[in-house]
Amino acid sequence: MSALNQSGWKPEMTEECRHDVKTYTGNKALMLEEPLIFEIGNNATTGVDLAESPEVALRLNNLERNRDIGLPGLSEPEAVRHYTRLSRQNYAIDLGFFPLGSCTMKHNPRLNEKVARMAGFADVHPMQPVETVQGALAVINELAVWLIKLTGMHGVAMTPKAGAHGELCGILAIKAALEARGDERRVILVPESAHGTNPASAAFAGFSVENIPATSEGRVNLDALKARLGPDVAGVMITNPNTCGLFERDMKAISDAVHAAGGYVYCDGANFNAIVGRVRPGDLGIDAMHINLHKTFSTPHGGGGPGSGPVVLSEALSPYGPLPFTERHVDGYYTLVEEETAGERHPHSFGRMTAFHGQMGMFTRALAYIMSHGADGLRQVAEDAVLNANYILRSLEDVLDAPFAHSGPCMHEALFSDDGLAEGFSTLDIAKGLIDEGYHPMTVYFPLVVHGAMLVEPTETESKATLDQFIGALRSVAQRAKAGDTSLKSAPHYAPRRRLDETQAARKPVLVWREPEQAVAAE
């Protein structure tokens, strides 16, 4: 008999195989530990090749930097491996279902990445003569037209860099409009369920913020709002669909009442994905609404930005929007309205919000996404997003408390609370249990108006099979929490890290790496 070919041997599963084995490296097969660049790189290593510098007499005003900066370098293979290993410790949409409420984590098409990288967009300078950037200006203008038509509004400010920057833009436009008529209104009304950026933006512009109560249905209390309106109220900031996942049925009535009292209506458009193509905010009397391109129009979240937050404006507020913006002339030629021509073209602008033209790299991606879907596809986006959320709500309301399930269908997100879990178990435990099941948890503890809130936003880019598996997993975790399964208290068990000590991080902040001896000296 010839020697056995052992390459096809059948693994033998003994008891020891099932134990957690401590490895020399700390790695667990594909779960790889990775040191910091400061621990593996050094000042003498570089991953780039550069031409020799010609010898010249320096003109640096004798300010040469002679001391070491402390920037370790890695060769290209080491650098690629370092970041690839880090990347594997992240959850991402590409890996799995990411039902983070209010964040609209939908699939990010790669076509968008491809077009954004075309040299004609990625490699043009913001201050090139306008005749050399006609295609770039066309992208901004085409996207602007889509946003105006999709929202039924009058104008759009494209430069805000993210949603919160857009909120600020809308609030500044309201402030400028009030100033233009010599009106010193100081109060902005914000529902308790609002995103924290709303009151922060209003306060920044010098407004004082007052809360509007909600009804037991989870919607703005129209009567309370009307009662508070008066000559001191500059406007309201309302999220619609709201953060409880409900459409504000009275939106038009709210707008009419606010307008009648001389105020303006700001709409937080974070949840536009639920209604795009089916409802135009302009038809509801909105004066300003930011659109998070990274939510509704699928530009990647990138681990926390960059975002982009264009703001659509009503006819009343458009004259006050920021500089610069693009203008299309009848012959198809594009120009920029900047400080130079603003006096003649846009004299009431409240000014500039950022150095250049906004997030061009996000505009290309969003426009590619919008064109891919078209008017018919975007409507289907909203419908499927709402269908998926209601499917989750109705499939889980028997096992998880759904405080507004009686209020009618939800929009694009389903809201649950921690009511009914075993003593000592909370929303956090459910979230961490979902991590072990291979999911990114839903948004937790937001909105603040619901105790132990869990906000599930599936988006339209998930299949029914994905939803069914998630429903099964969440049901299982919820049942464990109701049964008081203590293993849930220490979850996650299988993630790259266990629960992290946030108290230590905040009490003695370590925000930069220091050499071990320096770190000791700094104590």
Partner 1 sequence: MTRYYTEDHEWIEVDGDAATVGITDYAQSQLGDIVFAEVPATGATLKKGGDAAVVESVKAASDVYAPVSGTVTEGNDALEGDPALVNSDPEGEGWFFKLTLSDTSELDSLMDAIAYKAFVDGL
Partner 2 sequence: MRYLPLTHTDRQAMLGIIGAKTIDDLFVDVPAEAQLDGPIHGLPNHASEMAVERHFSDLARKNMAASHHPFFLGAGAYKHHVPASVDHIIQRGEFLTAYTPYQPEIAQGTLQMLFEFQTQVARLLGCDVANASMYDGSTACWEAIGMAGRVTKRTKAILSSGLHPHYISVAKTMAKYTGDTLDTALPELSAKTDSERLLAAIDDETSCVVVQYPDILGRIEDISVLSAKAHEHGALLIAVVTEPVALGAIKAPGDMGADIVVGEGQSIGVGLQFGGPYVGLFACKEKFVRQMPGRLCGETVDAEGKRGFVLTLSTREQHIRREKATSNICTNSGLCALAFSVHMTLLGEKGLRGLASLNHALAVQMADRLTQIPGVELVNDSFFNEFTLHLPKEARPIVRALADKKILGGVSLGRLYPGVDALKNGLLVAVTEVVTTEDVEAFAVALQEVLA
4 versus 500: smaller Cβ distance to partner 1: 500
Residues 6+ apart with CB under 8 A from 357: 126, 140, 158, 159, 324, 326, 336
**Partner in contact with 144, chosen from partner 1, partner 2, none, beta carbon below 5 to 8 Å by kind:** none
197 versus 296: smaller Cβ distance to partner 1: 197
Residue 179 three-state SS = helix
DSSP 294-321: TTTT----TTT------EEE-TTTGGGP
448 versus 483: smaller Cβ distance to partner 1: 448
Rounded least distance, CB 518 to partner 1, Å: 20
**Partner in contact with 372, chosen from partner 1, partner 2, none, beta carbon below 5 to 8 Å by kind:** partner 2
**Partner in contact with 149, chosen from partner 2, partner 1, none, beta carbon below 5 to 8 Å by kind:** partner 2
Rounded least distance, CB 454 to partner 1, Å: 16
487 versus 504: smaller Cβ distance to partner 1: 504
- Inter-axis angle of helices 163-180 and 197-204, nearest 10: 40
**CB-based burial, 345-363: b 16+ in 10 Å, e otherwise:** ebeebbeebeeebbbbbbb
**Partner in contact with 358, chosen from partner 2, partner 1, none, beta carbon below 5 to 8 Å by kind:** partner 2
Rounded least distance, CB 189 to partner 2, Å: 12
123 versus 502: smaller Cβ distance to partner 1: 502
Rounded least distance, CB 92 to partner 2, Å: 4
Cα 120 → chain centroid: 27
Rounded least distance, CB 251 to partner 2, Å: 8
Distance CA 238, CA 251 (A): 9
Strand-pairing partners, residue 326, are: 336
Rounded least distance, CB 88 to partner 2, Å: 6
327: phi then psi, degrees, rounded to nearest 5: -130, 135
Distance CA 357, CA 353 (A): 10
13 versus 506: smaller Cβ distance to partner 1: 506
Residue 216 three-state SS = coil
Using alpha carbons, list the distances in angstroms from residue 459 to 111, 250, 383: 19, 25, 10
375 versus 448: smaller Cβ distance to partner 1: 448
12 versus 517: smaller Cβ distance to partner 2: 517
CB contact at 8 A, 481 and 491? no
Rounded least distance, CB 405 to partner 1, Å: 27
Measured from the Cβ of residue 44, the count of other Cβ atoms closer than 10 Å reads 7
**Partner in contact with 123, chosen from partner 1, partner 2, none, beta carbon below 5 to 8 Å by kind:** partner 2
**Partner in contact with 333, chosen from partner 2, partner 1, none, beta carbon below 5 to 8 Å by kind:** none
Distance CA 498, CA 504 (A): 15
**Partner in contact with 165, chosen from partner 2, partner 1, none, beta carbon below 5 to 8 Å by kind:** partner 2
**Partner in contact with 23, chosen from partner 1, partner 2, none, beta carbon below 5 to 8 Å by kind:** none
Rounded least distance, CB 504 to partner 1, Å: 9
Rounded least distance, CB 497 to partner 1, Å: 17
**Partner in contact with 120, chosen from partner 2, partner 1, none, beta carbon below 5 to 8 Å by kind:** partner 2
204 versus 445: smaller Cβ distance to partner 1: 445
Indicate the residue type of 492: P
Residues 6+ apart with CB under 8 A from 338: 323, 324
Q: What residues line the site for partner 1 (CB under 8 A)?
A: 445, 502-503, 506-507
Q: How many residues does the chain have?
A: 523
